[in-house]
């Protein structure tokens, strides 16, 4: 399994301790398919997620790698708690 797939699998297992139901997997699949087809840039993705998950705020932030290089990152805020994605490699 490629490193990015293993990292995604580990992230999902950490966030969701229980096995998904069939209904949850269908919802996740529909979301993934919609994102793949319709949200082709960060702004479109953030707008979609903000509309679907009204209790959260998705926004683009500028992140800095350890080497000083800047790149667009994602920040999600839920109930006042901000969580940014880990540094991309």
| 1 occurs within a structural domain | no
| 52 occurs within a structural domain | yes
Of 74, 66, 87, 85, which Cα lies nearest the Cα of 11?
Answer: 85
Is residue 86 within 8 A of residue 76, CB to CB? The reply is no
pTM value is 0.76
| 69 occurs within a structural domain | yes
| 81 occurs within a structural domain | yes
Query: Does 60 have pLDDT greater than 70?
Result: yes
Q: What is the pLDDT of residue 83?
A: 82
Is residue 76 within 8 A of residue 82, CB to CB? The reply is yes
| 18 occurs within a structural domain | no
Higher pLDDT, 88 or 47: 47
pLDDT, one tens digit per residue, over 7-49 is 989 989 988 989 999 999 999 999 999 999 998 899 999 999 9
Domain count for the chain, please give it: 1
Residues in the chain: 89
| 8 occurs within a structural domain | no
Higher pLDDT, 47 or 82: 47
Q: Can you give the residue range of the structural domain that contains 87?
A: 41-89
Q: What is the pLDDT of residue 89?
A: 38
| 27 occurs within a structural domain | no
- Residues 61, 43: Cα–Cα separation, whole Å: 11
């Amino acid at each position: 399994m490629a490193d990015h797939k293993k990292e995604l699998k580990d992230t999902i297992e950490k966030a969701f301790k229980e096995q998904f139901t069939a209904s949850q997997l269908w919802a996740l699949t529909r979301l993934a398919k919609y994102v793949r087809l319709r949200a082709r840039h960060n702004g479109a993705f953030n707008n979609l997620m903000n509309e679907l998950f009204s209790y959260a705020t998705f926004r683009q932030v500028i992140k800095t790698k350890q080497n000083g290089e800047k790149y667009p990152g994602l920040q999600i805020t839920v109930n006042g708690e901000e969580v940014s994605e880990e540094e991309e490699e």
